[in-house]
Amino acid sequence: MTDDRLRVTSEGPIVAEGRREPLLLPRGLRRVPRGVDELATEHLIVNMGPQHPSTHGVLHILLELDGETVMAAEASLGYLHRGIEKLAESRRHHQVGTLLDRADYVSGIHTELAYAMAVERLMEIEVPEKAQWLRTLMAEINRIASHVLFVGTFGMDTGSMPTFLYTMREREALVDILEAVTGSRMMFNYVRPGGVTGDLPGGIIEKLETFLSTVDTYLDEYDVLLTDNEIFGPRTKGVGVIDRTTAIAFGMTGAPLRATGMDWDVRKVRPYAAYAQLDFDVPLGSQGDCFDRYVVKTAEIRQSLEMIRQLIAGVPEGEYTAKVPRVLRPPAGEVYTAVESPRGELGIHLVSDGSDLPYRMRLRSPAYYNLAVVDEALAGGLIADAVVTLGSLDIVLGEIDR
């Protein structure tokens, strides 16, 4: 037993009385017996997850607790691993979208879009203006649907029940629209290399206008329930602070990075689809705490609504897809494309060997990089802070484990 993992403290492995084997603890976690008079106390190590209401999926976090205080935390992943990247190597390019929908199952349009853009760039396909417009519109609807879900689940993490059900009302309206356009409520498979699968059916613009006319009062309700709430503020302000240097060092993107004041949004820095023609702001935070991450997300909802208003003001004419061959055979080469998904920079690194199957497809999962920081961000807080901090990172395990 000379495994380094056992040498978890400076004193060497700890052998408790009556035990034959040293306690096997994961890296980073220590079990420290401390003498208080005659009583030996030790830190409590608890498993948060994989079955826990607040880990947003099958995430497993080991917490080392001193009373209520979290001394160390270690995330352990892989419970939802389905081998999506490997499976993609045996799918034709048209078919990969269905797999990617199941990676980030809350914002499928964005993952599909990143992949379609990768294939288009390799094959040098010119995407029609109408298709770009449809992609942008659907991506923004999907972003709001994802962000309101975040507001709801984040409310749940702080113990506020109604927000979750209130946000479901908005999400329902948006998912209905997505279903009417794409045919599916979550696994869209809508964005394909070359364009999209279909034009808007009749009545969608009217549906969107109805939604836009009511949504502002609904967003004000969230402010009453959460943002301005006397309990919610102290629960989130100054909690789970991640400074800008740490955020950049961990490769964080999306709202958690922008909450630190870093102006980085793929839609602005490397515009794709029709974003270059849209007029929108990138909401920024300053403290990098849970409250700022929440505020950035809610501000992004309002920006996305503004974008949808601009988009439906001028519907372009034309084809919804370019003429593409039935079997896509991108020339040999590799390409990296990125989109701003609701969780951050979602990238696809696609390597093609010239055949009809991707040689290698790698997904840069934004939530994976955002989650990596929890080991540092949770330490020092309370259990309740750990739950809130984890919730504020807006992780989707399907995309992290892939």
Partner 1 sequence: MSPLLVIVLRTLAGLGLLLLNGVVLIYMLRKVLAHLHLRIGPNRVGPWGVFQTSMDVVKLLTKEDFRPATADKWLFRLAPLLIFVPSFMAYLVIGFSPTWHFANLDTGVLFVFAVLSFVPIGIMMAGWASNSKWSLIGGMRAAGQQIAYEVPLLLSVLGVVMLAGSLDLKVIVESQAGLWLGFLPKWFILPQFLGFWLFAIAALAESNQTPFDMSEAESELVTGFANEYSGMRFGFMFLAEFSNLFVSCAVGTTLFFGGWLLPGLEHNAVALALGPIVFMVKVYLGIFCMMWIRGTLPRIRIDQMLSFAWKALIPLSLAWVVIFAVILKAVRA
Site membership for partner 1, residue 389 (CB under 8 A)? no
Among 162, 251, 261, 333, contact with partner 1 (rule: CB under 8 A): 162
CB of 67 to partner 1, least distance (A): 8
Q: Using the minimum distance from each CB to partner 1, give the nearer residue, 30 or 52.
A: 52
Kindly state the smallest distance separating residue 386's Cβ from partner 1, in Å: 8
Q: From the CB of 106, what's the least distance to partner 1, in Å?
A: 19
Using CB atoms within 10 Å of the CB of residue 170, give its burial: 0 to 12 exposed, 13 to 18 middle, 19+ buried: buried
Is there binding between residue 225 and partner 1 (CB under 8 A)? yes
Nearer Cβ to partner 1 (95/214): 214
Which of 29, 322, 379, 382 touches partner 1 (CB under 8 A)? 382
58 binds partner 1 (CB under 8 A): no
**Is 232 a binder of partner 1 (CB under 8 A)?**
yes
**241 part of the interface to partner 1, by CB under 8 A:** no
Report if residue 327 touches partner 1, rule: CB under 8 A.
Answer: no
Which residues on neighbouring strands pair with residue 70, listed in sequence order? 65
- Minimum distance, C-beta of residue 366 to partner 1, in the bound complex (Å): 24
What lies within 8 Å, CB to CB, of 246 at 6+ separation is 373, 376
Report the amino acid identity of residue 327: V
* Residue choice 128, 152, 155, 358 for contact with partner 1 (CB under 8 A): 155
Residue for token pair 């004041």: 261
Told to check if 169 binds partner 1 by CB under 8 A, we report yes
What torsion, rounded to 10 degrees, do the Cα atoms 198, 200, 201, 207 define? 150
Map residue 333 onto helix, strand or coil: strand
Provide the b/e sequence for 317-336 (b: ≥16 CB within 10 Å). Answer: eeebbbebeeebbbeeeebe
What is the nearest approach in angstroms of partner 1 to the Cβ of residue 294? Answer: 12
Identify the residue among 16, 205, 231, 315 touching partner 1 (CB under 8 A). Answer: 231
Query: Among 6, 219, 312, 384, which residue interacts with partner 1 (rule: CB under 8 A)?
Result: 384
Q: Which is nearer to partner 1, 45 or 259 (CB)?
A: 45
In terms of Cβ atoms closer than 10 Å to its own Cβ (0-12, 13-18, 19+), residue 65 is middle
For partner 1, give the closer residue by CB, 69 or 246.
Answer: 69
Of the pair 215, 307, the CB lying nearest partner 1 is at 215
- Contact range with partner 1 by CB under 8 A, out of 94-102, 277-285, 325-333, 381-389: 381-389
229 lines the binding site for partner 1 (CB under 8 A): yes
Contacts of residue 225, Cβ cutoff 8 Å, sequence gap at least 6: 155, 160, 162, 163, 166
Minimal distance in Å, beta carbon 164 to partner 1? 8
Q: Can you tell me which of 71, 156, 257, 339 binds partner 1, judged by CB under 8 A? A: 156
Closest approach of partner 1 to the CB of residue 226, in Å: 7
* CA–CA dist 307, 290 (Å, integer): 26
Minimal CA–CA distance to 337: which of 110, 181, 129, 169?
110
Q: CB of 61 within 8 A of CB of 73?
A: yes
- Decide if residue 26 touches partner 1 (CB under 8 A): no
Under a CB-based contact definition with an 8 Å cutoff, are residues 288 and 230 in contact? no
The contact mask relative to partner 1 for 115-154 (x = CB under 8 A, - = no) is ----------------------------------------
Per residue in 75-89, is it b (16+ CB within 10 Å) or e — as a string?
A: bebebbeeebbeebe
Distance CA 103, CA 261 (A): 29
Residue with tokens 């839609």: 267
Distance of closest approach, residue 105 Cβ to partner 1, in angstroms: 22
Binding of partner 1 at residue 53 (CB under 8 A)? yes
Query: CA 358, CA 193: separation in Å to the nearest integer?
Result: 13
**Can you read off the two tokens belonging to residue 348?**
């696809």
**Residue 166 is a binding residue for partner 1 (CB under 8 A):** yes
In terms of CB distance, is 1 or 224 closer to partner 1? Answer: 224
* Strand 195-196 versus strand 333-341 pairing type: unpaired
Give residues in contact with partner 1 (CB under 8 A). Answer: 44, 46, 52-54, 65, 68, 155-162, 165-166, 169, 225-226, 229, 231-232, 234-235, 382-385, 387
